[in-house]
Amino acid sequence: MSTAQGRGTHAKAILGPELYAKLADTHVLLVGAGGIGCELLKNIVLTGFGKITLLDLDTIDLSNLNRQFLFRKKDVKQSKALVAAQTASAFNPNVKILPIHDNIKEPQYDIPWFQQFDLVLNALDNLDARRHVNRMCMAGNVPLVESGTAGYLGQVQPLLKDKTECFDCIPKPTPKTFPVCTIRSTPSQPIHCIVWSKTYLMGQLFGEDEDATGELDAAEKEGENAQEIAALRKEATAFKIVRDALRSKNSEDAAGIGLPEGGIVSASVSYEILIFFVPGIRR
């Protein structure tokens, strides 16, 4: 059996010959090319969906490489949609992938634009964009498959107008907690910065002697990025040194960590300590 014939053997056995024959003419929109998006793109390409439009706003970051397997180190800073499409195209030459590096909420992606697709797959990581795609699919009567993850937990939900509940039919609670790596490494919203300064910065500089070990251990068990957690452990060590310096009351303690006589650390000395230990801080 040739490679071309063997590629669709399992999909044909699962779907049946009649349904499988329709895949080549099925136009799929995949929104998101991150952790879920890479896996979804690989699956639908190998299954044999003939026309795929892949849309993602983000560029590739080094921290993505441990789970987003369509990217390599040489791809860092490039468009996720463009690189993912290029990589996945090699899996099945019979599939046409159109990559779009853009925001799904831009006005040109209106209801008629959504209606050109037979199926929409959501692989987004924020509620606002997921709600937007849900509204557009409900308005255009386009089938939507919604998916998401939190640590090791995952969920998938098929949504079809007048046949299933929509994504917003059950109100989603406003998040009261946020992933450690989001707050302390990759904040993207004002609330992230507020939580970081209130929960971490003030406590690290002026609060109790907390080394954040328990919290970071829990985050690691939840499946958060190990490389980022290692960087956060180093950051916690830097803050502890600054905190100890601020509390130092005698010259011996001050001399032990290279501080001015009297144990009073200046802002400039604190900053130099942070620069030494935390690579993300620049002069």
Nearest C-alpha neighbor of 105 from the set 146, 61, 57: 57
Out of 38, 137, 166, 181, the active site residue is 181
Active site residue 181: yes
Residues classed as catalytic: 181
